[in-house]
Amino acid sequence: MSRELERRQKRAQDTLRVLEEAVSKSNTDVETHLGQIKGEYTRVTELSRQAEQTINDIDQEFRARTKLIGFDYAFLFLCTALQCARQYLLPQLPRLTAQQGDRLMQNTVGRVVPKAWNDILFASVPYDALNMAVPLDTGLSGTTHRYRTLGHDPILGWIFGTSNILTDGLTKSDVITTYQVMDNTLVGLYPGGTPGMFASAFKTIQADPLNLPAALARQAIHFGSDYFTKQGLPIPFLGTLSPQMAHQFMNSNLKNSVHIDLYGLTTSTLLSSVSKFNFEVKTRTATKFLSLLLSCVALGSDTQGTHKEQNLLFVRHARG
């Protein structure tokens, strides 16, 4: 019985000793924290008493390291004010998506240097591009780009289309508007406009003697493929001289429209020439064709002309 009491008494003493050690450790930690708080309080108190001197010291150190003067501060705040004004006064510029940015930056290094003749010959023509990386009011679509781009003009295309192929450009039928094309996508106006495009074409021709023949061959191949398509090629110069008439002739979706393209005109002219073997008839046929073209241009510029009048004019000239 006495042995059991001694065991319990020893166990209680051990537990009491452990508790005393824990309390002692806690007291030590509390005293340490209190000391840290006291030290921080003392430091802050001293700083608050010397706040003005501390701020002056910081300013002096900043000026010593940055070497800024009064003019620099004025210039800095002026730039900041101009940036804020631009942000709120000017319209927001369109931003590209990540996919569009990746597509535009692809092969960037290859576009800085002049194109190789094999790239010119086997790449798609840029004046067929309809996709846009940023919103552009081009007026181009699958049914209008044939007569609204000079690259598709049967005569002017040998100049503008070939230059567009050399420079990745797209020149509209108004001659002055040229867009920059990257990866078959319109990315904006060409730097320097149409003159800038011709300057780039001249540099590309100088870079390699084979570039110009390759571009001419690519232009001829594209002409050959478009000539026999359903939409065909526009009448020469018509897209520039009379866009309204070109729209009427080349857009078969319009009500009461008559589709007239280069293939139809040349075929009818050749058939008419084959059936008559004398010079007078051939001359009259060519004269009718020229008269038809000039009459169509004149009627297309008349706002009172109707589609029915244009169609009757064409039939009357065709019958002679």
12 near 5, Cβ under 8 Å?
Answer: no
Instruction: Report how far Cα 131 is from the mean position of its chain's Cα atoms.
Output: 9
> How many other C-beta atoms are found inside a 10 Å radius of the C-beta of residue 255?
5
pLDDT (average), residues 212-239: 89
127 near 149, Cβ under 8 Å?
Answer: yes
* DSSP at 126: G
Express each pLDDT in 231-269 by its tens digit.
Answer: 788 888 888 888 888 777 777 665 555 667 676 677 766
**Number of Cα atoms under 13 Å in the Cβ half of residue 9:** 6
212's enclosing H/E stretch is helix 211-227
> How many other C-beta atoms are found inside a 10 Å radius of the C-beta of residue 261?
23
Q: Domain extents for the chain?
A: 31-90, 115-227, 238-319
**Nearest by Cα to 177 from 162, 197, 159:** 197
Rounded Cα distance, 169 and 196, in Å? 10
Residue 217 has pLDDT above 90, yes or no: yes
280: tokens are 């007078």
205 near 163, Cβ under 8 Å?
Answer: no
pLDDT (average), residues 176-198: 91
Q: What is the DSSP string of 81-107?
A: HHHHHHHHHSPPPP---HHHHHHHHTT
Q: Which of 57-66, 166-175, 294-303, 309-318 has the lowest mean pLDDT?
A: 309-318
Express each pLDDT in 118-149 by its tens digit.
Answer: 989 998 999 999 888 888 888 888 888 888 99
134 near 231, Cβ under 8 Å?
Answer: no
173: tokens are 């039928």
